[in-house]
Structure 1
Amino acid sequence: MFWIDDVAQQINKAFPDKEEIIIRDEKTASGRVHVGSLRGVAIHGVLAEALIQLGRKVTFYYEINDCDPMDGLPVYLDQNAYRPYMGKPLNAVPAPNELGKPSSTPTATNNFARYFGNEFVEVIAKLGFNAQIVWSSDFYHEGRYNGWIEKACAHPDKVREIYQKISGSEKSEEWNPLQIVCEKCGKVGTTTVTEFNGKEAIYNCEPNKVTWAQGCGYQGKVSPFNGRGKLPWKMEWAVKWAALPVDVEGSGKDHNASGGSHEVSEAICKEILGAKVPFNIPYEFFLFGGAKMSASKGLGATAKEVSEMMPPELLRFLMIRTRPNQPIDFNIEGDTIPRLYDNHDECAAIYFGQKTDTPDLGRAFYFAQMDPQNIPARYFSRFSRVAFMVQIPHLSITKEVEKLKGITLTPEDKKELEDRVAYARRWLDEFASDQAKFQIQTEIPVSAASLDSEQKKFLQAIATLLQENPSLSGEELHSKIHELKKASPLEAREAFGAIYQALLGKDSGPQAGWFLEALDRTFVIERFKAIN
C-alpha cells in the first residue's frame, strides 16, 4: 500500500465519529521560503485529498506565522538598514524594496511577513493544494487565543516544570510563558513578563536580553490579549492545536527528537490546556545537495524558484514519492531533474497499466496530478531526449517524438511535449551540466585535428554506413556503430569521442545512434569524410 493511502486510513480510523477533520501546518515568514518547506505542505495537502476521497469532510489550514520576532536577517537583505527592526514582530517590519532595504511603513497587509509569505502562498496555490490560508496575527488580534493565553499563564510553575523535565531547559522562578509587544518601541523579542494576574501583565523591555536586538528599557503593565501578548513557541504550538482544534499535524525530524519541541508541546497540551494532541506525522529533512536548507542563511533554492523550473505535477511528485520518514536529497544542477522525470514516467506507466511491477508506485503518479479525477492518458517523451532534441537546429521535435511513439500524437501528447520542451530549454539554460549541453559546429572543430588514424577510419566507416543505409533508425544505427567499434582496435571512449569531436568539438555527447539520426545525413557524411 502506498504511504498516502496507509496514513489516510490510519487517520480515518482514528477519528471515526468526527464530522470534520482539521489538518494544520505552518511556516514562519522570516524570508524567502525554501523548497524544503513544501514537503510539509505536500504531506498535509495530499492527506487531505486522500481523506476527502474516503468520504470525509476535511479542512486544511495553512498558517503563515507573522508574529515571531525578527531574530535573524536573510543574507540577501541590507543588514544595517534592517538592524533597528530586529526584535519586532515580523508583521511590524517593512517589506524590502528592490535594493534589499526597508520600504514603506508596514501595514496589516503590506509588511515583511506578507511580502515573503504571499510568495509562498502563491506556490501552494500553483501546486493545487486546497489550503485555507490563515495568518497568526489575525488569530491573535481577533482574540481567538485570549482564553488559552489566560489558561496557559495561570500555572507558570507547572509550565517551567514541563520544560525542565522534558527538555532540560531551566527557567527562573520569575519566568512566565508570555511576552508582550512593547508599548514604546514595538519589540517583542526583548520583553520579559515578570507578573500576570489573569488580566494584565507587568513586563520589562530589556536592553540586553538577547544578542540580536536591543530593548528600550521601558517598564509597563498591559493586557496581553487581542495581539498585545505573544506566547513562546512551544507553548504557542500547543495553544494552536487546542484553539482550532487540530486533529492532524505532522512536523519535521528536528521537532520530534527526544526532548524536542513536539514532546514539550504535547505535555503542555495535555497537562496545562487539557486538550488532545493531534495525530502526528514525523517527517525527515528535505536536503539540498546533502545539507539541510535554511531560508535565513540563503542555503538552498526557494520554493518559488523550483516551482518555475518544473511543472507542478513533477514538484508534487518530488515531495510525495518518498515516505515521510525518509529524507529527500535534491540538487537543481546536474541530472537530478532528468532522473526525476524518468521516475515520474515510470510511475505513470504503472498507473496506466503499461507496467505491472510495484503497483503501489502508480499511486505516487496519481496523487502527483493536479486533478486526480481527470487524468488523461498521454505519451511521455523522455525528458533527457527532449533536452537533446531542442539543441538540434531545424529539427521537428513533434515528428521525432511521433517516430518514437509509432503513431500520430494526440492533443494530450502534444500538450505534454510542449511543456517538456519549455522546461527542457530552461533546464539547459540555467541548471544542466556542460555534459548535457552541446552545439553543432558549422566548421570542422580545431580539436578534430588531434584524432588519430584509427579514429579517422572509424568516422569513414560510419559515413559509408550512412550512405549505404539511409533509412536506419536511431536504435538500428546505434547497434551498427557498436559493431563498427568492435571491429576496430579502438576503445569505446576513443571511438565515440571521435564522433563527438568531429561534430561538437568535445569528447562526449548524446547517445550516438539517436544523435546521428537526428542530424542531416548529408551534413554528417560530408563532415566525417572531410576528416581524413
Structure 2
Amino acid sequence: MFWADTITDEVEKRYADKIKAGEAIVVRDEKTASGQVHVGSLRSASLHAIVADVLRSRGVNVNFFFEINDFDPMDGIPSYLDEEIYKKYMGVPLCNIPSPEVGFDNFAEYYGQEYVRVLDKIGFGATVYRASELYRSGAMNDLIKMALKKKDLIREIYYRISKSEKPEGWYPINVICERCGNLSATNVTDFDGELVTYTCSSDTIKWAEGCGHSGKISPYNGNAKFPWKIDWPAKFVAKGVDFEGGGKDHYTKGGSRQVAETIAREVFEHEPPYGVFNEFFLVGGKKMSSSKGNAATAVEMSTILPPHILRLLLLKIPINRQLDFDPEGDAIPILFDNYDRLAEKYWSGVKDDDTQLFNFIHLPDERGDLPQRFLPRFSQVAFLVQMPHMDTYKEVEKMKESELTDVDIAELDMRITYAKHWLADYADDKFIFTLQETIPEIANTLTEEEKKATTQLAEKISQAEVLDGASLHELIHEVKEESGLSPKEFFGAIYKLFLGKESGPKVGWFLSTLGKEFVVSRLRLEK
C-alpha cells in the first residue's frame, strides 16, 4: 500500500462522522518565514499536501491551510544577511522587520512568499494565511485569556511532560513592547483579567535587547503571542485542525508535540488533531537549517528538478524514513530512471503501489490521461548535450527507432534543460565528458595488453558492415572475453582513449555515435 494511503485511511477512520456529514477535513501546515526556506521543509509540505490530495481523490471535502508564521520573533540572523543591519531586530516579530528587498511589506513576506511560490509550482499549494492575521483578528483572544487563567496548569504540564521548570509567577505569553517593539525581551508579571503587566528587559533573554520599559497592555488582538508549545495547540483550536504532523524532533518523548497535545486537552479542552512525524531531509548527509548558510533551499531544489520529479523524490519513500539526496552525485539521473520505470508500468496497465505513486506525483489536472511518450535516459541525454558533434534529437530518434512525436520532443526538451542545469551547477567531475580531439596524455598509462585489445577491436570494427549500438556491444564484449582483461581494464582503456578519463557512458552506444574512421584510428592509437 502507498504510504500516504495508510495515513489517509486513519484520517477517514477517525473523522468518519464528520466526513459522512459532508463537513470539511482541515489539514494544516506552517513554516516560520525567518529566511530562505531550506529544502527540508518540503518534507513537511509533502506530508500535508499528499494527505489532502488523497482525501480529495476519495471524494472527501478538504480545507488545506498553510500558515506563513510571520509573528515569531527574529532569533537568529541568516549568514547571507548583514548582521550590522539586522542585529537591532533580534526579538522583534518577523512581520515588523523591513524586507531585505523592496517590493515586500516586511521581512516575513519576502521569504514567505518565496516559499509559497515553490509550493504552488510543485502542486503543494494551499489556502495561505499569516500568523499575525490570526492574532490580530481576535481569533486567539479567548485562548489567550484561557491560558493566562490556567497558567499554573500549563506550568505543571511543562514539568510533567518535558521536565521543563518555569519560575513561580511565570505567564505563558509574550507581549510586544509598546516602546521598542520587542517581543522576546518582555516578561509578563501579572494579569488582571483584561490587561497584563510587563517589563521589557535585556535580562529576559540573552540574545534580545530590552529597552527597560514597564507598562500595562491588553494581550489581545495582536499585542501578544504565545510561546511555541502553547502557540501550536492554540492554532489546532483556532483553525479546527483535523490533521497536522510535524518534524521528527517534535515527536520525541517529552517533546513539543506531546506538550501541545496535553495543553490542547487539559487547558483548551479540545481534542488535538491526528498527526504523524516526518523524518529529516538530508542533502549530502547533512540536516539543513535555514538560519545557516549551508542549506540547500527549497527554491534551488525547485529549479534543478521539474515538479513531477521533485514530487517523486518527496513521495517515493515513506514519510517516516529519512530522505538523503545529493545533487552532486548520481541521485538526479537515478530519480529520472525511477520515474521511467514507474511510467513503463503505468502505461502497461499495471495497478499497484508503484502506479498509485506515479499517479500522485503528477498534478491533479494531469492525471488519468498521461500521454505515452519516449523517455530517453537522463544520463544519456546529459552525455549527448556535452558532445558538440552530435545532434541530440537525431541520436534520441535512433534510440527510439522511429520518428519523435510532439510529446516525445517536449519530454526531450525538458530533459535537455534540466541536464544542462545539473551539469553546469551540480554534477561531479565524473559526469563531465569532453571528446578528446587528439590522443590524450592518459593514454600513456595503457598496458600492452590493453593496447593489444583496443587494436583488435579496431580491426573488427573496420571489417563490420553494421555499426549500431547493439552490434558494437557484441563486438566489444567478444574482444573483451578474448583479451582476458577485466571489464574495468578493457572499458577503462576505451574511455581513456576517447574521453581522457576512466569512466563514461555505455561503450557500444557511445562509439556508435562517432565516425567509423575516427573510432578505428583512435583505437589503433594513430590519432
Please give the range of the TM-score, normalised by the shorter of the 2 chains. over 0.9
1:377-392 matched pairs, under 5 angstroms: 377-392=372-387
Which residue among 314, 329, 341 is the counterpart of 1:319? 314
Match of 2:158 in 1: 163
Matched residue of 1:254: which SS? helix
What residue in structure 2 maps to residue 65 of structure 1? 69
Provide the aligned length of Structure 1 versus Structure 2.
521
1:334 is aligned to 329
Please give the secondary structure, in 2, of the residue aligned with 1:35: coil
Deviations, residues 127-148 of structure 1 (Å, cap 9, x unaligned)? 1223011111111111111111
TM score, norm. by length of structure 1: 0.94
For the residues of structure 2 that align with 1:521 and 1:311, how far apart are their CA atoms? 37
Q: 1:38 aligns with which of 42, 46, 50?
A: 42
Q: Please name the residue that 1:369 is paired with.
A: 362
> Does structure 1 residue 505 correspond to structure 2 residue 500?
yes
Tell me if 1:262 matches 2:257.
Answer: yes
Deviation at 1:469, TM superposition (A): 1.7
Deviation at 1:354, TM superposition (A): 6.7
**Superposed counterparts of 1:63-462, under 5 Å:** 63-97=67-101, 109-353=104-348, 359-370=352-363, 371-462=366-457
Are positions 1:24 and 2:65 aligned together? Answer: no
Any unmatched runs of 5+ in structure 1?
98-103
Contact 1:441–1:503 under 8 Å retained in 2: yes
Equivalent pair of 1:22/1:245 in contact (CA under 8 Å) = yes
Q: After superposition, what is the alpha-carbon deviation per residue over 1:482-519, rounded to whole angstroms, capped at 9, x for unaligned?
A: 21122124333332222122212222222211110122
Q: What SS does the corresponding residue of 2:524 show, helix, strand or coil?
A: helix
Per-residue CA deviations over 1:160-203 (Å, capped at 9, x if unaligned) read 01111001011112111110000011000111111112211111
Partner of 1:11: 11
Does structure 2 conserve the Cα–Cα contact (< 8 Å) formed by 1:392 and 1:518? no
- Provide Cα deviations, 1:16-60, integer angstroms capped at 9, x if missing partner: 232111100001111110111011111111111111111111111
Moved more, 47-56 or 467-476: 467-476
- Looking at structure 1, the residues matched to 242 and 280 of structure 2 have their Cα atoms a distance apart, in angstroms, of 23
For the 8 Å contact 1:63–1:133, the answer to whether it is kept is: yes
Distance 1:531 1:260 in 2: 70
Pick closer, same or farther for the CA change 1:336–1:492 going to 2, 3 Å: same
Residue 283 of structure 1, CA deviation: 1.5
What is the RMSD computed on CA atoms of the aligned residues?
1.7
Kept in 1: contact 2:229–2:259 (CA 8 A): yes
Q: In structure 1, what is the Cα distance between the partners aligned to 2:484 and 2:2?
A: 51
Cα distance in 2, alignment partners of residues 81 and 503 from structure 1: 54
Counterpart amino acid of 1:257?
Answer: T
Provide closer, same or farther for how the CA distance between residues 516 and 355 of structure 1 changes in structure 2, counting only shifts above 3 A. Answer: farther
For 2:63, what is the secondary structure of its paired residue? strand
- Given the superposition, is the C-alpha separation of residues 373 and 201 from structure 1 closer, same or farther in structure 2, using an over 3 Å criterion? farther
1:467 CA displacement: 2.1
CA contact (8 A) 2:282 2:323 kept: yes
Question: What per-residue deviation string (whole Å, max 9, x for no partner) do you get for residues 456-502 of structure 1?
Answer: 33222222222222423213312321211221243333322221222
Question: 1:302, CA displacement in angstroms?
Answer: 0.2
Contact between 2:199 and 2:212, CA under 8 Å: does it hold in 1? yes
**How far, CA to CA, are the matches of 2:207 and 2:474 in structure 1?**
66
Which amino acid in the other structure matches residue 359 of structure 2? Y
Partner Cα separation in structure 2 for residue 197 and residue 480 of structure 1: 91
CA deviation vs aligned residue, 1:51-83 (integer Å, no higher than 9, x gap): 111111111100011111111111111122211
**How far apart in 2 are the matches of 1:446 and 1:287?**
39
The letter for the 1-side match of 2:487 is A
CA deviation digits over 1:309-339, x for unaligned, max 9? 0100011111111111111111121111111
* Paired residues of 2:116 and 2:125 also in contact (CA < 8 A): no
- The code of the aligned residue for 1:173 comes to E
Task: After TM superposition, give the deviation of residue 246 of structure 1 in Å.
Answer: 0.5
Secondary structure (helix, strand or coil) at the match of 2:194 reads coil
Amino acid at match of 1:343: N
In structure 2, the CA distance between the partners of 1:303 and 1:170, relative to structure 1 (3 Å rule), is: same
* Structure 1 counterpart of 2:362, one-letter code: Q
- Between the aligned partners of 2:300 and 2:369, the Cα distance in structure 1 is 28
